[in-house]
Amino acid sequence: MSVTILCYHKVGSASEEGRRLNIEPLRLRSHVQFFVRKNRKFILAGDLPGSMNSGVVCFTFDDAYFSTMVHAPSVFEEAGTRATFYAVPGRVGKSSDWDGELARPLADWDLLLSAQSKGHEIGNHSQNHLHLADLDAQEQLAEIRTAHEALENKGLHPPQLLLPLR
């Protein structure tokens, strides 16, 4: 079984985003084209439990940075495929306060809804991007459930939680 799962963060020019956790759009395009040339089947993260077949590739993006949501979806659309973007509902349209002095803007709801309308998946990256290891089990579940409900309330369709909602 050969499943490739790739995780990225920011997508933008180095002058715009720096080098930390960033890939330039042309480099991302080359990564996507590599898997296209290899005839890999692209799937969304929500499809992984039922798609653990050989030759599958899944591109994911943590945090739904503004730059990512501006640049990445079109790279996949040009290749005729899709990707999964994990949003932090409690910070949508704000900045990545967990990045300290390197904080960057996060996508707003319109960008997330636009990506979803083009077939991309918007997933749950917790409500506030807290360090889950610092929370007890009930607080962890609350972070995840609250985020899932917030995404749904905005008209997004995150993959089904594998946790009980209540």
Compute CA distances 121 → 64, 131, 132, whole Å. Answer: 11, 23, 23
| Domains detected in the chain | 3-153 (3.20.20.370)
- Pairing relationship of beta strands 84-87 and 56-62 according to DSSP bridges: parallel
pLDDT for position 99: 93
Number of C-alpha atoms within 13 angstroms, CB side, residue 47?
18
Write down the pLDDT at residue 163. Answer: 61
- pTM for this model (two decimals): 0.94
How far is CA 80 from its chain centroid? 18
- Amino acid identity, residue 98? W
Q: Per residue of the chain (166 residues), give pLDDT as tens.
A: 578 999 999 999 999 999 999 999 999 999 999 999 999 999 999 998 777 677 899 999 999 999 999 999 999 999 999 999 999 999 999 999 999 999 999 999 999 999 999 999 999 999 999 999 999 999 999 999 999 999 999 999 999 876 655 5
For the beta carbon of residue 6, count every other beta carbon within 10 angstroms: 14
DSSP 105: B
From the list 60, 59, 68, the residue with the least C-alpha distance to 17 is: 68
123 token code pair? 């997933």
